């Protein structure tokens, strides 16, 4: 009988994604495990495979739609089946995760009613029915609170979520809060906030609302580092490795983090604990046509400058081509963003939540500088450190920034572990 294929659990706590591109259309024959669509979620694009062989009878989500885990993406029929048969099919269904088949929903009987209802395991438990409702309404506490705030009777709303659950968007539409832009005062172009820009917006808003952020700034004389990089790039030309300043920035940060561990930490709000990371996974902000992405280089302390440069090239290329894997964007403990490449000097970079700090590097320029009592022209790098004041104080952050500056001013210290 026809099969309702729902958005599978993609792992990493992901609950929704945007339908970026369908790779099949209605009427197409599909093979089991054939990729049928691309879902953009948490800054990465994931190809989703079909759970079985058959023909596409119906596509439930358009490109650009937001699909939640457990929602039906499309209906697949085996040979001889029709779309009409879907209505007669039992409500039990399954979805395919990235690695195999996972039971998605089971039937369960409501106590004392003799009725059976569908419960979707991947979206968690559904709250109990509210007093006075004749039937159980599937909605989370947050959605119920939203309905109360907007004065909407949740029992009268037709849910569009998994198993007919009511979503926050359903409540807002019922309250007339959605789709009513303010009167314009001139020519405007309205575009839906979708894809990577939507993810960036959510993540940065979360960071600003959650962290107690403070930014400190300084200038660093990197003339010696500049000369070192120039020399080494000539010798690396044959190996097709382009040595930027970022590998040196990463090494300097790691050395400094070893002495200032609370800048390599996060907060567990549920248990009210500080989680100090004993590993160094450094995220590097990469500008792409769709927006900023942050690939993560794992175990940077175990890699050489050349190895870091090579991995940076590879991850940056994959990010710009949107071929980067989800796991390559996860697990960061500290982030570096180099906006100087685009002409900026100082900034107040936003922490990549749940990390506790981010280092911004600006445009390198020649400036008059006092060295050994004389005024000379040197290569000067502006740096900005934003840190979470809940985890560390200004004194510790200032010492960290001074330590980073010391390693960049004298790059030979990068190779002396005890420095």
| Residue 27, pLDDT score | 92
* Reduced 3-state DSSP string for the chain: CCEEEECCCCCCCCCEEEEEEECCCCCCEECCCCEEEEEEECCEEEEEECCCCEEEEEECCCCCCEEECCCEEEEEECCCCCHHHHHHCCCCCEEECCCCEEECEEEEECCCCCCEEEEEHHHCCCCCCCCCCCCCCCCCHHHHHHHHHHCCCHHHCCCCCHHHCCCHHHHHHHCCCCCCCCCCCCCCCCCCCCHHHHHHHHHHHHHHHHCCEEEEEEEEECHHHHHHHHHHHHHHHHHCCCCCCHHHHHHHHHHHHHHCHHHCEEEECCCCEEEECCCCCEEECEEECCEEECCEECCHHHCCHHHHHHHHHHHHHHHHCCCCCHHHHCCCCEEEEEHHHHCCCCCCCCCCCCCCEEEEECCCEEEEEEECCEEEEEEEEEEEEEEECCCCCHHHHHHHHHHHHHHHHCHHHHHCCCC
pLDDT band at 374 (very low <50, low <70, confident <90, very high): very high
Identify which has the larger pLDDT, 182 or 73: 73
pLDDT in tens, 58-96: 999 988 888 888 899 999 998 666 545 444 444 444 444
Check pLDDT > 80 for residue 371. Answer: yes
What mean pLDDT comes out for the span 120-138?
A: 47
pLDDT tens digits for range 258-316: 999 999 999 999 999 999 999 999 999 999 988 899 999 999 999 999 999 999 999 99
Q: How confident is the model at residue 177 (pLDDT cuts 50, 70, 90)?
A: low
The full set of domains in the chain, from first to last, is 3-106 (2.40.50.100), 125-174 (4.10.320.10), 196-415 (3.30.559.10)
The model's confidence at residue 161, banded by pLDDT at 50, 70 and 90, is confident
Residue 115 has pLDDT above 70, yes or no: no
Q: Strands 365-371 and 116-120: what pairing? A: unpaired
241 falls in which pLDDT band (50, 70, 90)? confident
Q: How confident is the model at residue 99 (pLDDT cuts 50, 70, 90)?
A: very low
Q: Supply the pLDDT for residue 388.
A: 97
Residue 144 has which token pair? 């119920």
How much is the pLDDT for 301? 95
Q: Which of 54-58, 200-204, 288-292 has the highest mean pLDDT?
A: 54-58
Whether this model's pTM surpasses 0.75: no
User: Residue 175: which pLDDT band, with cuts at 50, 70 and 90?
Assistant: confident
Residues noted as catalytic: 389
**Which pLDDT does position 42 carry in this prediction?**
67
In the chain, % of residues over pLDDT 70:
83
Confidence of residue 97 (pLDDT cuts 50, 70, 90): very low
Mean pLDDT of all residues in 342-351: 95
């Amino acid at each position: 009988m026809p099969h309702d294929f729902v958005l599978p659990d993609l792992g990493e706590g992901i609950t929704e994604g945007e339908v970026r591109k369908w790779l099949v259309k209605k009427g197409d024959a599909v093979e089991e495990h054939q990729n049928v669509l691309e879902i953009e979620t948490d800054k990465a694009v994931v190809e989703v495979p079909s759970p079985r062989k058959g023909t596409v009878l119906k596509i439930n989500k358009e490109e650009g739609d937001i699909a939640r885990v457990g929602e039906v993406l499309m209906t697949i029929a085996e040979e001889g089946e029709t779309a009409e048969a879907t209505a007669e099919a039992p409500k039990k269904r399954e979805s395919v995760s990235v690695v195999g088949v996972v039971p998605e929903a089971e039937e369960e009987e409501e106590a004392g009613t003799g009725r059976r209802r569908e419960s979707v395991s991947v979206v968690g438990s559904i709250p109990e029915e509210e007093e006075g409702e004749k039937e159980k309404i599937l909605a989370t506490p947050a959605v119920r609170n939203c309905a109360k705030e907007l004065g909407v009777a949740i029992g009268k709303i037709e849910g569009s979520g998994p198993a007919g659950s009511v979503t926050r968007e359903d409540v807002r539409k019922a309250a007339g809060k959605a789709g009513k832009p303010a009167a314009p005062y001139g020519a405007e172009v309205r575009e839906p906030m979708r894809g990577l820009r939507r993810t960036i917006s959510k993540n940065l808003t979360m960071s600003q609302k959650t962290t107690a952020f403070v930014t400190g700034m300084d200038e660093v004389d990197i003339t010696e580092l500049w000369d070192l990089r120039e020399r080494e790039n000539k010798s690396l030309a044959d190996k097709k490795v382009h040595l930027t300043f970022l590998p040196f920035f990463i090494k300097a940060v790691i050395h400094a983090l070893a002495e200032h561990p609370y800048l390599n930490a996060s907060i567990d709000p549920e248990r009210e604990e500080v989680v100090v990371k004993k590993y160094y996974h450094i995220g590097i902000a990469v500008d792409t046509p769709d927006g900023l992405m942050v690939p993560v280089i794992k175990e940077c302390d175990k890699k050489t400058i050349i190895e870091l440069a090579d991995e940076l090239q590879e991850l940056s290329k994959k990010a710009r081509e949107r071929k980067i894997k989800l796991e390559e964007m996860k697990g960061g403990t500290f982030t570096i963003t180099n906006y100087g490449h685009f002409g900026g000097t100082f900034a107040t970079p936003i922490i990549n939540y749940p990390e506790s700090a981010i280092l911004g590097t600006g445009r390198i320029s020649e400036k008059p500088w006092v060295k050994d009592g004389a005024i000379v022209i040197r290569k000067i790098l502006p740096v900005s450190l934003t840190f979470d004041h809940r985890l560390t104080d200004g004194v510790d952050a200032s010492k960290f920034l001074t330590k980073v500056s010391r390693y960049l001013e004298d790059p030979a210290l990068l190779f002396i572990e005890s420095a």
